Amino acid sequence: MISDTAIARLVYGSTLGNLLIEANQTGITLVAFTDELPTESTGENSTAREHLETAADQIDEYLTGERQQFTVSMDLTDMSAFDREVLRTLEATTGYGRTTTYGALTRQLGRTPADARKIGGALARNRLLILLPCHRVLGADGSLTGYAGGLPAKRALLDLESADLLLPLGG
C-alpha cells in the first residue's frame, strides 16, 4: 500500500536489508527498512517512478562506496518546519565520514541544551533514512544511540563511511 504522500513505491533489496522507497512527482517521500520482499516499482506516474529508480541507484552506489552525496530529489513537505530545519542542518554540517552529537547539533541550530530531546525527536521522525544522514548522530559520549534501521545498520553505515578515512596515505 502506498502512503498518502506518495504515488509510487519500490521495495529495494540493499546490502543492509530491504528498503521501502516511496515517491511522488516532486521526489522521494520515504526510505525505510522493511521486512517486505523486493519488488519492482509500482505506480502510474513516470516521474515518481524515475525518482524511485534514481534513489535506488544512488543508495546502491553509496553502499558500494562509489557515492558520498545524494542528489535525488526529496519531498520534505510532509515534515514539520522544525523537523526539516533539523534534518537539513544535519545534512549541511555533517558530511560523509563525519559524526556529530545531539548536543553539537543543538548548538548548530542555535537552540538551548533543553532542546536536545526535541532535536532527537526530529531525527527519530526522519522519513528519509540514509538519504538524510541521521545515522551520523551519536550520544554525547560517542556511543551509538537509537536508529530506525537498528543499531547494526547504523554501525554498518558509519563503518562504510569511515572505511575511506582509514586507508593509509603514501605510496
Q: What secondary structure letter does DSSP report for 70?
A: -
Task: Give CA–CA dist 38/19, Å, rounded.
Answer: 8
Of 43, 20, 1, 36, the C-alpha closest to 130 is 20
Let me know: does 106 contact 119? Beta carbons within 8 Å: yes
134 has catalytic annotation: yes
Kindly state the cell numbers that stand for 150. Answer: 537498528
- Positive or negative: CA dihedral 82, 86, 87, 93: positive
What contacts 89, CB < 8 A, 6 or more positions away?
A: 105, 108, 109
Element (H, E) at 138: strand 137-138
State the catalytic residue, choosing from 11, 16, 134, 157: 134
Of the chain, the end-to-end C-alpha distance in Å amounts to 53
Q: What secondary structure letter does DSSP report for 169?
A: P
- Active-site annotation, residues: 134
